[in-house]
Amino acid sequence: EVQLVESGGGLVQPGGSLRLSCAASGLPFSVYWMTWVRQAPGKGLEWVANIIKQDGSEKYYVDSVKGRFTISRDNAKKSLYLQMNSLRAEDTAVYYCARFIEGAGMDVWGQGTTVTVSS
């Protein structure tokens, strides 16, 4: 069974850091584009970042997280990461990792991990 499992969420103070992880199983992880999507409480989906080459060399970010968040992957560990620095209250959300099939959308999603930024 193809599965993505996120971890690493929690409560952090404004200005703090957090590293999210996403472990993949049941799929050949290295060949796929991967992405992070978040959803603030009561709000819609927001794309956060994606990594579109197997070696992790090409990455894109939504403007609001550029310079603060870093997406990365470890193909040997079948894992995706999101390093989040200088966190703000507006980063509070459920963070999902997802697999993106080129030309076809995000077909496999994790269950989400909750990040709360508050003092």
Partner 1 sequence: DIQMTQSPSTLSASVGDRVTITCRASQSISTSLAWYQQKPGKAPKLLIYKASSLESGVPSRFSGSGSGTEFTLTISGLLPDDFATYYCQQYKSYSWTFGQGTKVEIK
Footprint on this chain of partner 1 (rule: CB under 8 A): 35, 37, 44-47, 50, 52, 58, 60-63, 96, 98, 100-101, 103-107, 109-112
Yes or no: say if 113 and 97 are a contact pair by the CB < 8 Å rule: no
Least distance between partner 1 and beta carbon 45 (Å): 5
Distance, CA of 34 to CA of 47 (rounded, Å): 11
Least distance between partner 1 and beta carbon 30 (Å): 19
Residues 6+ apart with CB under 8 A from 104: none
If one counts every other C-beta atom within 10 angstroms of the C-beta of residue 16, the result is 15
Q: For partner 1, give the closer residue by CB, 58 or 90.
A: 58
Q: For partner 1, give the closer residue by CB, 35 or 79.
A: 35
Q: For partner 1, give the closer residue by CB, 55 or 63.
A: 63
Q: For partner 1, give the closer residue by CB, 11 or 101.
A: 101
Yes or no: say if 84 and 18 are a contact pair by the CB < 8 Å rule: yes
